[in-house]
């Protein structure tokens, strides 16, 4: 079980209709690859965020499969077009079954 996992996102408060906006997301997570060994030589079990999804008003914006080579505290930045006011929802899926979410509203006009 990964500790101190905190998602954070940055979405502009407002945008013009059809404008490209930049969204930044980051989740603090050790992203243990499953390849490393501890001091006693035992393999440290894999524990990563394996999927990241962003939706806007229920519609998928991106859906990312993540692999063990991705470094600690994975950061995603992407561009999206916003046709109308609404809510971005972000979901991260952990190997241990935990699901972390965050959401942010955006106004258009």
Partner 1 sequence: MMTRTITAMAVALMATGTFAQAQDLVINGEIPITTRAPAPDFVPAFSEVISGWEFRSPETQQLETDDFENPGMLFVEAAREAFSEPLKEGGQSCADCHESPEALAGARAVYPKWDEEHGEVQTIEMQINECITERAGAEPWGYVSTEMDNMSALMSAVSRGMPVNVATDGPAHETWKQGEEMYYTRYGQLELSCANCHEDNYGNMIRADHLSQGQINGFPAYRLKNAKLNSVHDRFKGCIRDTRAQTFKPGSPEFVALELYVASRGNGLSVEGPSVRN
Indicate the residue among 8 and 81 with the shorter CB distance to partner 1.
8
Task: Identify the residue whose tokens are 């519609």.
Answer: 59
8 binds partner 1 (CB under 8 A): yes
Please select the residue that binds partner 1; options are 4, 42, 60, 65, rule is CB under 8 A.
4
Widest CA span of the chain, in angstroms?
A: 59
DSSP letters of 6-74? Answer: -EEEE--SEE-TT-EEEEEEEE----B-S--B-TTSPBPPPB-EEEEEEEETTEEEEEEE--TTSPSS-
28 binds partner 1 (CB under 8 A): yes
60 binds partner 1 (CB under 8 A): no
Indicate the residue among 7 and 86 with the shorter CB distance to partner 1.
7
98 binds partner 1 (CB under 8 A): no
6 binds partner 1 (CB under 8 A): yes
36 binds partner 1 (CB under 8 A): no
Q: d(Cα 34, Cα 40) in Å, to the nearest integer?
A: 15
Interacting residues with partner 1 (CB under 8 A):
4, 6, 8, 10, 24, 26, 28, 71-73, 75
């Amino acid at each position: 079980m990964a500790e101190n996992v905190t998602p954070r996102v940055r979405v502009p408060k407002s945008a013009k209709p059809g404008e490209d906006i930049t969204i930044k997301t980051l989740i603090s997570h050790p992203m243990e690859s499953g390849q490393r060994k501890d001091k006693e030589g035992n393999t440290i079990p894999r524990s990563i965020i394996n999927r990241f999804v962003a939706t806007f008003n229920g519609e998928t914006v991106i859906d990312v499969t993540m692999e063990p080579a991705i470094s600690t505290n994975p950061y995603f930045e992407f561009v999206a077009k916003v046709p109308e006011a609404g809510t971005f929802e972000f979901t991260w899926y952990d190997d241990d079954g935990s699901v972390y979410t965050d959401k942010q509203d955006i106004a258009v006009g």
